[in-house]
Amino acid sequence: MTRPPVPGAPDGLAPPCALAGLWAVRHGQSTANVAFAAAEASHSTEPVPGRDRDVPLTALGAAQARALGAWLAAPAPAGGPDLVVCSPYLRARRTWELMASRAAELGVPQPHALVDERLRDREMGVFELHPATALRARAPQEAARRELLGDWYYRPPGGEAFTDVAVRVGQFVSDLAAAAPGRRVLVVAHDGVLVALRHVLAGIGAAAPEPPPPVPNASVSHWDGDGRRLRPVTWGDTAHLATADLA
Q: For the CA atoms of the chain, what is the radius of gyration?
A: 18
What pTM value is reported for the model? 0.92
CB neighbour list of residue 156: distance below 8 Å, 6 or more residues apart: 124, 125, 126, 127, 142, 146
Give, in order, the Cα–Cα distances in Å from 195 to each of 82, 116, 158, 201: 23, 17, 21, 10
Q: What is the mean pLDDT of the chain?
A: 92
Burial of 53 (0-12, 13-18, 19+ CB in 10 A): middle
Q: Are strands 184-189 and 83-86 parallel, antiparallel or unpaired?
A: parallel
Q: Return the domain boundaries, the chain.
A: 21-242
pLDDT tens digit sequence for 145-170: 999 999 999 999 999 999 999 999 99
CATH number of the 21-242 domain: 3.40.50.1240
The pLDDT tens digits for 82-98 are: 999 999 999 999 999 99
